[in-house]
Amino acid sequence: MPANYSGTWDIVDNQNFEGYMVALGIDFATRKVARMLKPQKVFEQDGDSFIIKTFTTFRNYSSSFKIGEEFEEITKGLDNRKCQTTINWDNDKLVCVQKGEKKNRGWTHWMEGDTLYLELRCEDQICKQTYKRTA
Ligand code: ECB
């Protein structure tokens, strides 16, 4: 049985989001707004099928995928690039690889109790986010 991430998670810490956004080529004005945001994640999971919704007051983002199945991801409202994206289990961690123009792009999620971690990677930058379960 894989881990179950279903639920609602609110951000409590966000390290080097700025560096991650610079690596993605996000302009200064957008970064200035984005770095003030407090994202909420809503995971809907049925075994190996996921919908991850990221909500903010500025923009929202949603991604649907099945473990191990590559899909075309368009990061609409983020950096608006096209990636060939695959998410796999590494034990109970979710490991995402986003192949495309940017090297070393992807993310990893893992849980410890009511804490959800997210590491976002692009080029030589790592953004580390921490979320707490609220539902
Ligand atoms: C939608 C939340 C952030 C909106 C920020 C708006 C503009 C900044 C533009 C680009 C910044 C790049 C990425 C934002 C970082 C995170 C958003 C979701 C990233 C993501 O891939 O989430 C994964 C893992 O939880 C599931 O889609």
Q: How far apart are CA 118 and CA 95, in angstroms?
A: 10
How many angstroms separate the CA atoms of 55 and 48, rounded?
22
Q: Any idea which residue has 């003030």 for tokens?
A: 36
The per-residue pLDDT for range 103-118, each reduced to its tens digit, is 999 999 999 999 999 9
121-132 per-residue burial string, b: 16 or more CB within 10 A, e: under 16: bbeebbbebebe
* C-beta 8 within 6 A of ligand 1: no
Helix/strand/coil for 100: coil
Q: How confident is the model at residue 135 (pLDDT cuts 50, 70, 90)?
A: confident
Q: What is the per-residue pLDDT across 3-12, written as a single tens digit (0 to 9) for each?
A: 999 999 999 9
Percent of the chain with pLDDT over 70: 100
What domains can be seen in the chain, in order of their start residue?
7-129 (2.40.128.20)
Separation of CA 46 and ligand 1 centre (Å): 22
Q: ipTM of the predicted structure? A: 0.97
pLDDT at 1: 82
Any ligand 1 atom below 6 A from CB of 129: no
Ligand 1 atom with least separation from CA of 107: 24
Mean pLDDT of the chain, nearest integer: 98
| Ligand 1, atom 27: closest residue by C-alpha | 63
